[in-house]
């Protein structure tokens, strides 16, 4: 994978394989240690917090050292071939631990588990338990089954499971930003994509439980939530539709004291614009982000809602995949080039100063040089702030794998990828340079990676901003930063208030 190094938080390269740690809890497994590491998108990292929460209830402690673990879980990604290879390589590294401790339970969770099912047990002898993304509530029983000497598999997908009632433990968190899942699965069937097969049908989570989780996060000091779904614009909760009323004393810092759900609105449906508004109303100091938007579903209503609330960030991740209508049709994206451009124009018209990022696939089946060039001209048109760019990777079982030959030679895919990566670097730099001389409102996240003399945080448009540490501000607070210079991925400046 040749991703541009960009600050898109839905797939954070620096977090791949990260292990999670939480406080010990009592229970029948008291003293047993769980090691869990995650790969892939933010949804997987969020799911690992749900898994840790379920097992904490059973008395498991977490450890960041797999050598100390009684249970090792890997939460896996299937999106491209190399994501799966990475997991297989990682599993090999646990062989020594298993030899040393034959009672060790090794489990594979998530998309790869769902895709390979019990075949995983045959292919990787080390693995004891295989659990799909909708079966995490069953984990305690599955571990019991392994303890009794059997292998265990649960890859049942559900039409209802949203884990809405499970309050995820926040692991390895900076206490400032949190991911909140608002829906699971996907009904779109893009022809290249394995997600509908590994994560099942789309289902939305009760808005009351989402608002409750975000309110709780705010009251614990968190200042930014990112609402997660494969296609947030198709979020839909059929009645009752809650209204959120602000009581007297709405300046009070405790959000829960001033927010209450009002009357149900009968038959009405809560759509994504309504949900954004509900979350934005929790407190003006709580920033709201979301990912991922789908070009076919993003409505003007959503755009007007973003523009209406200062705390809904002016940043939209709108994956284009290809700039050519024939390829988009083969990808089953259900929009064409003109439609996508119309949505970009609507964003520019309704939300002044909105950053836009994207995902691009190069070398999809039958893509000609001219069709690839349409993707390049789309990049010229939008001048994306960031982009994730991938070579097409055929995934077994997908519509594209069944219908089309993966016929673009590897070196052509690579050449096209290199071309758009270079192009994107130009536009990222261009967007960053345009911020020089401007004052950005930044939520401080902590020390910069390179120096403890600098803080880092994100602007409203999701750009990473670096500025000197000072006595009058600290992580979790907002500061205004005058931007003095930039790289293609970072803004550098000084605090001006
Ligand atoms: N739901 C999101 C959407 O519709 O844009 C994205 C989900 S997917 C986890 C993230 C990105 O991976 C996609 O936008 C696409 O660019 C890329 N991707 C998915 N399947 C792929 C494949 N078979 N080969 C290469 N890239 C792929
Ligand atoms: Fe995959 Fe398309 Fe669903 Fe995104 S919208 S998860 S690319 S099927």
Atom of ligand 2 minimally distant from the CA of 187: 3
Beta strands in 44-169 (DSSP E): 61-62, 71-76, 105-110, 129-131, 152-154
274: Cβ below 6 Å to ligand 1? no
Per the CB < 8 A criterion, the answer to whether 481 and 496 are in contact is: yes
Residues 435-450 have a mean pLDDT of 97
Residue 117 DSSP label: T
| Predicted local confidence at residue 30, as pLDDT | 74
Query: Minimum mean pLDDT among 84-98, 344-358, 394-408: which range?
Result: 84-98
User: DSSP H helical segments within 148-290, as ranges?
Assistant: 195-199, 207-219, 255-258, 272-280
Mean pLDDT of the chain: 91
Query: Ligand 1 centroid vs 108 CA: distance in angstroms?
Result: 22
| Predicted local confidence at residue 10, as pLDDT | 54
183: Cβ below 6 Å to ligand 2? no
Per the CB < 8 A criterion, the answer to whether 155 and 161 are in contact is: no
The predicted model scores a pTM of 0.90
Query: Ligand 2 centroid vs 189 CA: distance in angstroms?
Result: 6
Which of the residue ranges 9-23, 256-270, 418-432 has the most confident prediction, judged by mean pLDDT?
A: 418-432
Confidence of residue 172 (pLDDT cuts 50, 70, 90): confident
395: Cβ below 6 Å to ligand 2? no
191: Cβ below 6 Å to ligand 2? no
pLDDT tens by residue, 277-316: 999 999 999 999 999 999 999 999 999 999 999 999 999 9
The position carrying tokens 């960053």 is 432
Residues 355-380 have a mean pLDDT of 98
Query: Minimum mean pLDDT among 173-177, 277-281, 353-357, 374-378: which range?
Result: 173-177
Residue 248 DSSP label: S
Query: Ligand 2 centroid vs 84 CA: distance in angstroms?
Result: 18
Distance CA 22, CA 49 (A): 9
Percentage of the chain beyond pLDDT 70 is 89
192: Cβ below 6 Å to ligand 1? yes
């Amino acid at each position: 994978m040749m991703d541009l190094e960009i600050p898109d938080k839905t797939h954070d390269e620096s977090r791949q394989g990260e292990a999670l740690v939480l406080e010990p809890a009592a229970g029948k497994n008291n003293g047993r240690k769980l090691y869990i590491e995650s790969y892939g998108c933010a949804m997987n990292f969020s799911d690992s917090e749900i898994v840790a929460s379920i097992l904490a209830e059973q008395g498991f402690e977490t450890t960041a050292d797999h050598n100390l673990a009684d249970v090792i879980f890997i939460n896996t990604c299937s999106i491209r071939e190399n994501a799966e290879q990475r997991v297989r390589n990682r599993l090999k590294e646990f062989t020594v631990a298993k030899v040393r401790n034959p009672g060790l339970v090794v489990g594979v969770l998530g998309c790869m588990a769902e895709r390979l099912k019990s075949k995983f047990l045959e292919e990787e002898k080390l693995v004891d338990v295989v659990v799909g993304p909708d079966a995490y509530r069953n984990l305690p029983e599955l571990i019991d089954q392994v303890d009794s000497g059997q292998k265990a598999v649960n890859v049942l997908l559900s039409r209802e499971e949203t884990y809405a009632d499970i309050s995820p433990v926040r692991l390895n968190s900076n206490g400032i930003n949190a991911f909140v899942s608002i829906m699971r699965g996907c009904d779109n069937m893009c022809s290249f994509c394995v997600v509908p097969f590994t994560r099942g049908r789309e289902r939305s989570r009760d808005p009351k439980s989402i608002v409750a989780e975000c309110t709780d996060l705010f009251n614990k000091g968190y200042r930014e939530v990112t609402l997660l779904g494969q296609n947030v614009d198709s979020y839909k909760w059929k009645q009752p539709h809650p209204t959120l009323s602000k009581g007297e004393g709405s300046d009070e810092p405790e959000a829960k004291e001033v927010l209450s759900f009002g009357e149900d609105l009968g038959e009405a449906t809560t759509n994504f614009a309504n949900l954004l508004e509900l979350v934005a109303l929790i407190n003006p100091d709580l920033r709201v982000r979301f990912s991922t938007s789908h070009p076919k579903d993003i409505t003007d209503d959503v755009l007007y809602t973003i523009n209406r609330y200062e705390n809904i960030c002016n940043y939209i991740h709108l994956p284009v995949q290809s700039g050519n209508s024939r390829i988009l049709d083969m990808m089953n994206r259900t929009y064409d080039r003109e439609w996508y451009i119309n949505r970009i124009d609507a964003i520019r018209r309704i939300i002044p100063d909105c950053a836009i990022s994207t995902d691009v696939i190069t070398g999809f089946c039958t893509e000609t040089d001219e069709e690839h060039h349409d993707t390049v001209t789309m990049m010229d048109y939008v001048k994306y702030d960031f982009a994730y760019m991938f070579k097409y990777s055929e995934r077994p079982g997908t519509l594209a794998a069944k219908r089309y030959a993966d016929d673009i030679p590897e070196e052509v895919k690579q050449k096209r990828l290199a071309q758009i990566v270079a192009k994107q670097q130009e536009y990222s730099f261009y967007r960053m340079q345009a911020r020089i001389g401007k004052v950005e409102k930044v939520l401080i996240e902590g020390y910069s990676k390179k120096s403890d003399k600098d803080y880092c945080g994100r602007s409203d448009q999701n750009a990473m901003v670096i500025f000197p540490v000072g006595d009058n501000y600290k992580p979790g607070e907002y500061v205004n930063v005058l931007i003095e210079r930039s790289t293609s991925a970072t803004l550098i400046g000084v605090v001006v208030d």
